[in-house]
Amino acid sequence: MNNPELTSFEISKIVKELGTMEHGRLDKAFQISQSEYVLQFYVANTGQRFVRLLLPGLLFIVDKKPSVPDRPGDFTMMLRRQLRNSRLEKVSQHGFERVVVFSFSTKAGSKQMVLELFGTGNIILLDDKKIILAVLSHKTWQRGEIRKGRPYSFPEGSTDPFQLSSSELAGHISGSGQDSLVKALAVDLSMGGRFAEELVAITGLAKTLKPSELAAANVKALKAALDKLANAALKPCIVAGQALPFPLQSVKGDSKSFPTFSEALAELTPSLAVERRQAESIKKQSKAHTIIRAQTEQLRQLENAVAENSTKAELIYKNYPYLVEAMRQLHEARKTLTWQEIKKRIRDKRLVQINE
C-alpha cells in the first residue's frame, strides 16, 4: 500500500469525516494485531460505524466490521472498561500535527483518546486533567515521558502553512535548512512529499530551487497554490495506487472515484490484510511441514522397530523348543550355581546340559 502514513493535510480531511460520528456511542475496541486497532461506534440514524487505526499513521472509517479476534487484547480491554458506553463529543486535529484527539464524555467525567500518528505511533488515554490513564507504548520525548500516571504534553504545534501570510511564508522557506524548495515544503512546512510535489507542480517552480533564492513572485505563486489546496473540493480517488482526497496535477494515471476519502483508503488497505494472512499461512505451512517431517521420521523408526521385532519374533518362534529347554536348564542350574557361575558356563559354552 502506498499510504503507510497520512500527512498532516490528509489527516485534516479524515478528521472532517470523523466529525460525522460525533455524538455517537463507543461500544467496543478491538486489537487485530500489534499495529492494527478498531473502534466500534453506534451513531444515531446511521448505525454501527468502525474506525480503523493502523499504526504508525493510518486512520479511516469503514461501515462493515473487519474480521477481529474472538478475545480482545489487554490494552483494548482496558479501553473498553474506561470508555464503555461513552459519548464521542468531538474529534479534532492538534494544530497541524499528525495527532488526532477523540474527546469523550463518560460517567466518570471527560476523557480523551490521543492518537499519535507519527514515529512508531501511539494511543494514549487521558483523564480530564490530562493525566495519562493508559498508554499503548511507553516513550520518552523531550516534551516528557509518556507513561501511566504522568501528565501528558502534546507535541509542539508544527507550522500550519495554510495560516501563514505571504511574508511569513517567505520567512519560513528562506530560513529553511533544506537544500531544495520541495524538501523545504515537505519538511519545514509539514506538507509531506506528496503535497510538496503538488505545490511545485501547481506553481511550475523547479523542485531543486534553493529556498534562499525564492523571489517575491515565487512566494506569491506558492501562497496561491496553498490557497488552492485548502479550498479544493473533496473528490476522493485512487490514482496510480495512491489514495488521494482529490486529484493532483503531480500524480498521473487512471482515476477511480470514491464517496469519501476513508473509502479510498479502505480500498487499498485489504492488501495489508492479505499480506498478513499470507505471512501467517506461510508460517503455518512451515510449522505443518516440520510436524510432517517429525511424524515421517517417527513412522520410519516405528517401521524399523516393527521389522526388527518381527525378525526377533520369527527367530523365537523357530527356536521355541530350544528356548524352553534353555530356560528349564537355567532354572535347574540356579538351584546349585550362582549367577556368576552360570554366566561363566554360558561364556564357556559349557551349559549344554545341567546334569553334566
Examine the pLDDT at 356 and tell me if it is beyond 50. Answer: no
Examine the pLDDT at 306 and tell me if it is beyond 80. Answer: no
Evaluate the omega torsion of the peptide bond into residue 245 and state whether it is cis, within 30 degrees of 0: no
Examine the pLDDT at 182 and tell me if it is beyond 50. Answer: yes
pTM value is 0.74
Helix (H) or strand (E) segment spanning residue 272: helix 270-318
Tell me, what's the pLDDT at 331? 78
* Mean per-residue pLDDT, 311-331: 79
pLDDT tens, position by position, 77-136: 999 999 988 999 999 999 999 999 999 999 999 999 999 999 999 999 999 999 999 999
Domain range annotation of the chain? 8-156, 159-231, 319-356
Q: Which residue has the higher pLDDT, 264 or 308?
A: 264
Share of the chain above pLDDT 90, in %: 65
- pLDDT confidence band for 351 (50 / 70 / 90): very low
pLDDT tens, position by position, 163-174: 999 999 999 999
Instruction: Give 3-state DSSP helix, strand, coil % of the chain, rounded to 5.
Output: 45, 20, 35
* Mean per-residue pLDDT, 316-339: 79
Asked if the 159-231 domain carries CATH number 3.10.690.10, the reply is no
CA angle 131, 7, 222 (to 5 degrees): 125
Asked if the 8-156 domain carries CATH number 2.30.310.10, the reply is yes
Q: Which residue has the higher pLDDT, 175 or 285?
A: 175
Tell me, what's the pLDDT at 115? 98
DSSP 159: P
- Among the ranges given (2-16, 198-212, 228-242), the one the predictor scored with the smallest mean pLDDT: 2-16
How far is C-alpha 327 from the chain's CA centre? 72
Q: Tally helices (H) and strands (E) across the chain.
A: 10, 14
* Same-fold call for 8-156 versus 159-231: no
Query: 261 Cβ partners below 8 Å, 6+ apart?
Result: 10, 13, 14, 17, 60, 234, 236, 243, 245
Q: Which amino acid is at 353?
A: Q
pLDDT tens, position by position, 231-280: 999 999 999 999 999 999 999 999 999 999 999 999 988 655 555 556 56
* Main-chain phi, psi angles of 255, to 5 degrees: -115, 140
Q: Which residue has the higher pLDDT, 113 or 32?
A: 113
